[in-house]
Structure 1
Amino acid sequence: MKFLILALCIAATTADLHKITLDAHQVHLIQSSWNQVKHNEVDILAAIFRDHPDIQDKFAQFAGKDLETIKDTAIFATHATRSTGFFGAFIALLGSEDNQPAINTFLRALATSHKARGAVTSQFYQFRDSMINYLKSHTSWNDEVSQSWDIVFDMAFAVIFEYL
């Protein structure tokens, strides 16, 4: 019995060992590019829904509706602001080892809430593709920025997928 308890404690601790570690320059590149688009909430969400209608269909208030009709509504703007605000808060936490527990908690909560809605791994990759494409076309983009975003998404997904 003691062995089982020890094993469970180790497993629980291992989940918290996911660390999003980027050097200061990479954090700067990510935060700088995000700051260039963070106020384009509606455009970002519309781009994601345009690229992946199956993601739009995961939201009851938007499922089956014409994107061009709903994107100028208050409910769409509210959801877009909430989504990008969440993403922005995650980006803001990057760069300090002291923030790692908050980042892990944040990502676990994201995974749990999206699991309850039936989100699957492939949809997170679709989100990533759309977000990267949006960033590429609306920010100062180069190979260094691209690599930094790849690292942060890979590390975030390691935590998210563990709980999804």
Structure 2
Amino acid sequence: MKPIILVIVSLSFAAASIMTAEQISIVQASFDEVKGDPVGILYACLKADPSIQEKFPQFAGKDLEVVKGTPEFKTHAKRIVGYSLKVIYELPDMERDVDTFVASHKPRGITHEQLDNFRAGFVTYMKAHTDFAKSESAWGASLDNFFGMIKSKM
């Protein structure tokens, strides 16, 4: 591993470990408000960057407005939200979850820009469906840690 990547990984792990119990609780509580809408969450994330949809073979080249109503989309959305719940309820220890994510997404050629756009879509969804102003700082710390760790390994 290149020295700069080691520094980034080390800083990411250090940052993840400094999330306060209050920040973790805030993130968990706000996600609890929306976890029942996996289709809406995935839809918002794919809407933020149509190139992300192309990384899902079962949805590639299809109209997102039509696809979002299919059982396949609902199943995949539930899988993503289930994974997200796992990450959120294991905060601040997310190294294993990051490794799992990277192992399944790096071979698909996911770019840093797509990760940023997926994050932006998620934040847009959260702003529309929660009192995000109260949790924005905590979410920022959590998302910075998670996506920073992913990017350092991809």
Q: For the superposition of Structure 1 and Structure 2, which TM-score range results when normalised by the shorter chain?
A: 0.7 to 0.9
Alpha-carbon displacement from aligned partner over 1:106-157 (angstroms, at most 9, x marks no partner): 1012012111111011111101111111011101221x51111111111112
**In the alignment, what sits opposite 2:45?**
48
| Greater relative contact order structure (CA < 8 Å, 6+ sep) | 2
Any unmatched runs of 5+ in structure 1? 1-10
**In the alignment, what sits opposite 1:28?**
25
Structure 1 position 37, deviation (Å): 0.3
Q: TM-score, normalised by structure 1?
A: 0.82
SS in 1 for 2:76: helix
Any unmatched runs of 5+ in structure 2? 1-5
Structure 1 position 158, deviation (Å): 2.4
- Tell me the distance in 2 between the aligned counterparts of 1:126 and 1:72: 22
CA contact (8 A) 2:47 2:121 kept: no
Q: Runs (4+) of structure 1 moved beyond 4 Å?
A: 14-17
> Which letter does structure 2 place at the counterpart of 1:41?
P
Q: Does 1:18 find its partner at 2:13?
A: yes
Structure 1 position 15, deviation (Å): 5.4
Which one of the candidate residues 107, 111, 119 is aligned to 2:98? 107
Are residues 16 and 110 of structure 1, via their aligned partners in 2, closer, same or farther at CA, if it must alter by over 3 Å?
Answer: farther
**In the alignment, what sits opposite 1:93?**
90
Q: Does 1:163 find its partner at 2:150?
A: no
Aligned positions, number: 146
**In the alignment, what sits opposite 2:70?**
73
Q: TM-score, normalised by structure 2?
A: 0.87
Percentage of identical aligned residues: 34
- Superposition CA RMSD, Å: 1.9
SS in 2 for 1:18: helix
